[in-house]
Structure formats: C-alpha cells, structure tokens
Amino acid sequence: MAIARPKKSRPSAWSFIRAPAPPKSNAHPIPPLGYILIALVVIQWFHATSLAVKLQCLIGAGLFSCTEYIFYTMTVESPDGTVSVKPFAGRPGHTTVHQYIMNVFYIPILIHGYHALIGSTALRILLFPLNIWLLEMIQGYTLIYLIGYNAAWTYRGYDAFFHGTIKLWYVHHWLMMGAALELVVLPYTLPLTETIASYLTF
C-alpha cells in the first residue's frame, strides 16, 4: 500500500512580503555576477549623467547621511522595532558608507527619473513615500544579493516588510522629506550645481 507523502508547502507571496531581514551572520563574499552588476551600474552612472547631476548625487547623498545621523540622535527604538521621537534623548548618531554609496548611484532615479514621471510638485510630495520605499527595496535587495544582508539599515516590527527593507511607520517622515526636497533643497541645489559645473567645464 502506497504511503502518501505530505506535500511541501510553497512559500506564499505574503510570507515573502513579511519575511524578516537576513542577519549579519548571513554575510557572504560578493558573487561573480555581483561584480558585473557593480561595474555596469558605475559605467552607466558615469556615461548617462552630466557633471551637474554627478555633483547633485554627491551632495544629495551627503545631505541624506547627515539627516540619517541626526534622526538617530532624535529617536529611540524599542525591542519590538517601534521607533519613538525623543529629542536629545535618542540613540548615538549612525549612518553607513553603504548607504552613501548606494544613494550616490540612485539619486538620478530618485530625483530626475521621478520628476520626469510626475510633473506636479504637489503630487510628487504626496507620492514621495512610494518613491523612497522603491529606493529602499531596490537598494536593500541589491545589498542582500551582493553581501548576504542589508548593511545600510534594517527595519524591524509589525510594519516592516520585504526583508526589513521598508517600514510603513516612516510614511510621515518621508512626506516631510519630500516637501523639504521639493520646496527647499532642490530649488537651490539644482541651480547651484549647474553653476559649479559650468565653471568646471571651462
């Protein structure tokens, strides 16, 4: 009499969405295809962006690193992953080289690609959290593929999704960042970098 074997359950889409971030112990050397991916991104960035955009990438990544560092000093994270704003009583400041490098190469998409897709300033601000979550998933999964875990950031808690790459609770922070970017940072930074680039090309 044949014995029925239990069917192996396949991971569902929801289990993938809710999967926790891989731990640092999951680290591994960069795979061979990873080096090819890095080379293609770097070559494309150098050839497809102007000097002004390159300056915007360097400045923008630096500004975000400063923002992230300050955010850490103004917040605390509980064991369950809940983040609370506590000015002057937060964690030690923190940012990573991984975060800076990834942002340098992604800013052309974050800003110029986003502007090409959405013409309305108000709509860009309202949809900015989606723009950031897309960035976080692309950067997060790229790092997980390259080195086995996300060395730039890790989200935990009930509102963390996609292997800890995004956190829904941050939606209001991303809205404020989108407003600051559209109304304050870009109106000054874009003309400044264009001016600097014009001087450097002569």
Asked if the structure places residue 105 within a domain, the reply is yes
Residues 161-201 have pLDDT tens digits of: 999 999 999 999 999 999 999 999 999 999 999 999 999 98
Residue 9 resides in a domain = no
| Segment 48-76, tens digit of pLDDT | 999 999 999 999 999 999 999 999 999 99
Q: Is residue 6 part of a domain?
A: no
Is 18 within the bounds of a domain?
Answer: no
Assigned domain for 98 exists: yes
Q: Report how many domains make up the chain.
A: 1
Angle between helices 97-107 and 32-48 (to 10 degrees): 50
What is the C-alpha to C-alpha distance for residues 197 and 202, in angstroms, rounded to an integer?
9
User: Strand (E) positions, the chain?
Assistant: 75-77, 83-85, 160-161, 166-167
CB 174 within 8 A of CB 196: no
Residue 142's domain spans which residues?
Answer: 29-195
Say if 8 falls within a structural domain: no
Q: What sign does the dihedral 162-74-27-40 (CA atoms) show? A: positive
Q: Residue 80: what pLDDT?
A: 87
Is 151 a domain residue? Answer: yes
pLDDT in tens, 6-46: 666 566 788 889 999 999 999 999 999 999 999 999 999 99
Q: Is residue 3 part of a domain?
A: no
